[in-house]
Each structure stands twice: as structure tokens, then as C-alpha cells.
């Protein structure tokens, strides 16, 4: 029975049991002992708790068995490193340092979910969530539950646990990117296993943004972001503007570095789990980008995604 598994018979087990007799010709028992051997399948393997007979099935037939997905994966166009989207009931880690594009990617995920009418939650550990930039990224703020934890990682973990077990959310984003590594290293691994069990077989996605991997093997997907280049406004001096007949005040830029504003960044999204997928270039630009679409870094390159995230028009 090492290579067999138990399966339930059909609706009429009695007919089957009466017609099946153990063939004693293959038995190593003697003729006298074979007479005492079970004569029916019911005598041999018994019945289940529901009264049905248990029929041995070769384990090789179980290879064809697989669980069909109940919910469609969440598509994220700006992250081709996830060609099939983010699977429901899983954990996704976005890993990177400051200004690496991890926040832009997380806001893009939330935007895709809220635009589908899903209610999402943001566990903001250190006050990084910026509503104006979130709106610029396409997030419907009226579908966001914003939990501010004031720098308390323990409160953030407990809030995440409560929201995941409450259910009803499309994406639950846990932002611990600015938490100290000494504090993060104290988080028991059992927390992540608990989160994994909480979201499996549900339509909820747990999105974790962090500087270093925290969920480890509990995460179905992990993407590491690395800054490649950045572009600033104010690259022209007042002398260049005067030669071109342009006004310094009209353009809002001048000689001082204080006049320079971040226009866009270019980052590399590299899959960490699974690691057999190619890296992808992601360009993040401001919502008040001064240049044209073709002036974006890497815009002409093939396979480059562009997202609009941060907002500077805040009073």
C-alpha cells in the first residue's frame, strides 16, 4: 500500500463489494490459511466514516490532480517580471533601498487593485504613505484603509494580522521599509507563516515593502529594485537660458542647485523569487514632468515601463 492512496467508491458500494473477491492464487499464504483470508474488499480495507468502501488507487494517477485557481491574478502592466500577474492568496515582497523604485511599484499595484473596485489597506509603519502621490499614481483613495502606526513595528505586524484574518481586502500593503534592521530581525519567522496561511485560498494579496527580505520562503514572489540613473530639472544655467533667449524666472530654474527638481528615476526590477526570470527596467516620473514623453530616460529602449508616481504640488 506504499504506492497507493485511499479514494472513495461510487454511490453503490455494496454491489461492488459483493462482486469483488480477493484472489488467493497470488497470496503467499498456504491453502489452509487462504481460506481464512478476507473474501471481499470491505473485509480487507474496511469502510470510511461515511459508510463508503475505500478503494486503493495508484499514486501515479494523482499527478493529474491539481487545484484550480478560484480568482484571477492581479495584472500589473508596469512589472513585466510578473508576466502572469500577482497570484491571489500569496505574499509579494518588494525589496530595495531608498529611491530605488520600490514605493513606485507598490503604488502601482495598489492602483491596479483599486481601479478594479477592490478595497485595499495600507499599513504605514513610519509615515511613508503620501496621499497626493498615491492619487497621482492612479489610486482611488476612497477605497484605501490607511493604518498609521507611528513607527511601532509591533503595532504594524498586529494590524496586518487583524486585517488579513478579517478578510475582504484585495491587497494589504505592509510598509516596513524605514524600520530599523535590528527591529526587523527580531520579528519571528512564525509571523510570516501565519500571514501565509491567512491569505492562502483567499483573494487577498499581502504586499510587503522592505529594505531586506523578511518573508523569505513564505513569499511566492520577491522583486529587488536597484537605482540606475536619475534626471533633474535645472540642468541648464542662467547663461544657457540667456543665450537661448529664455527667462530664468519663466522656467523656474537657475544656477543654484536649490532650483533643481527630481523629474524621473530609472531603476532595475530584478526577480529574486523565482529567480529564473529576466530583469526589467522601470522609469518613474513626476506628475508634472517638464519634458516630453520621448525625453524620459530609457524611453526609447525596448521593454521599459513608465509609471507616474510622485507629486510635488502639495501645499
Residue 248 clears pLDDT 50, i.e. is over it:
no
Query: Looking at residues 151-179, what average pLDDT do you find?
Result: 96
Confidence of residue 15 (pLDDT cuts 50, 70, 90): very low
State which H helix or E strand residue 157 sits in.
helix 153-166
Give the pLDDT confidence of 84-126 residue by residue, as tens digits: 999 999 999 999 999 899 999 999 999 999 999 999 999 999 9
Choose between 256 and 61: higher pLDDT. 61
pLDDT of 46 reads: 57
Grid cell of 180 as nine digits: 530599523
More confident residue, 130 or 287: 130
pLDDT of residue 254: 44
Map out the domains of the chain with their CATH numbers. 91-308 (3.40.50.300)
Residue 152 to residue 88: CA distance in whole angstroms: 28
Q: By percentage, how much of the chain surpasses pLDDT 90?
A: 47
Cis peptide, bond prior to residue 274, ω within 30 of zero: yes
Spatial CA neighbour of 106 closest among 256, 246, 208, 253: 208
Q: What are phi and psi of 132, to 5 degrees?
A: -65, -45
Q: Chain-wide mean pLDDT for the chain?
A: 76
Check residues 284 and 50 and name the one with the higher pLDDT.
284
Q: Return the C-alpha cell found at 164.
A: 488579513
pTM above 0.85, yes or no: no
Provide the pLDDT for residue 232. 77
Task: In whole angstroms, give the CA distance from residue 260 to residue 248.
Answer: 13
List pLDDT tens digits, range 278-304.
898 888 887 654 454 444 444 434 456
Confidence of residue 39 (pLDDT cuts 50, 70, 90): low
CA-wise closest residue to 95 among 266, 216, 190, 228: 216
Q: What is the pLDDT of residue 263?
A: 80
Share of the chain above pLDDT 70, in %: 62
- Eight-class DSSP state of 69: P
172 pairs with which residues across the strands? 121, 206
Distances (CA, A) of 192 to 207, 215, 249, 257, 272: 12, 6, 53, 44, 18
**Does the pLDDT value for residue 269 go beyond 60?**
yes
More confident: 233 or 235: 233
Amino acid at each position: 500500500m506504499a504506492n497507493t492512496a485511499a479514494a472513495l467508491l461510487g454511490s453503490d458500494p455494496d454491489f461492488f463489494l459483493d462482486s469483488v473477491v480477493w484472489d488467493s492464487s497470488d497470496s503467499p499464504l498456504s491453502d489452509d490459511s487462504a481460506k481464512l483470508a478476507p473474501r471481499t474488499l470491505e473485509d480487507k480495507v474496511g469502510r470510511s466514516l461515511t459508510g463508503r468502501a475505500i478503494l486503493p488507487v495508484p499514486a501515479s494517477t494523482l499527478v493529474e490532480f491539481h487545484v484550480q485557481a478560484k480568482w484571477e491574478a492581479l495584472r500589473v502592466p508596469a512589472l513585466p517580471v510578473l508576466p502572469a500577474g500577482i497570484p491571489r492568496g500569496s505574499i509579494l515582497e518588494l525589496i530595495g533601498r531608498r529611491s530605488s523604485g520600490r514605493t513606485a511599484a507598490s503604488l502601482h499595484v495598489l492602483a491596479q487593485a483599486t481601479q478594479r473596485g477592490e478595497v485595499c489597506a495600507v499599513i504605514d509603519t513610519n509615515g511613508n504613505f503620501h496621499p497626493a502621490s498615491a492619487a497621482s499614481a492612479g489610486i482611488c483613495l476612497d477605497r484605501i484603509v490607511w493604518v498609521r502606526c507611528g513607527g511601532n513595528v509591533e503595532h504594524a505586524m498586529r494590524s496586518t494580522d487583524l486585517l488579513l484574518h478579517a478578510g475582504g481586502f484585495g491587497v494589504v500593503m505592509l510598509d516596513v521599509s524605514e524600520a530599523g534592521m535590528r527591529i526587523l530581525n527580531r520579528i519571528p519567522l512564525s509571523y510570516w507563516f501565519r500571514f501565509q496561511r491567512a491569505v492562502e485560498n483567499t483573494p487577498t494579496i499581502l504586499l510587503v515593502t522592505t529594505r531586506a527580505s523578511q518573508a523569505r520562503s513564505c513569499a511566492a514572489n520577491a522583486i529587488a529594485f536597484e537605482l540606475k540613473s536619475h534626471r533633474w530639472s535645472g540642468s541648464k544655467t542662467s547663461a544657457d537660458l540667456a543665450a537661448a533667449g529664455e527667462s530664468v524666472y519663466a522656467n523656474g530654474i537657475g544656477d543654484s542647485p536649490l532650483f533643481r527638481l527630481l523629474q524621473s528615476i530609472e531603476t532595475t526590477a530584478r526577480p529574486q523569487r523565482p529567480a529564473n526570470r529576466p530583469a526589467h527596467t522601470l522609469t518613474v516620473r513626476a506628475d508634472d514632468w517638464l519634458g516630453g514623453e520621448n525625453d524620459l530616460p530609457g524611453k526609447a529602449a525596448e521593454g521599459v515601463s513608465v509609471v507616474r508616481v510622485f507629486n510635488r504640488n502639495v501645499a
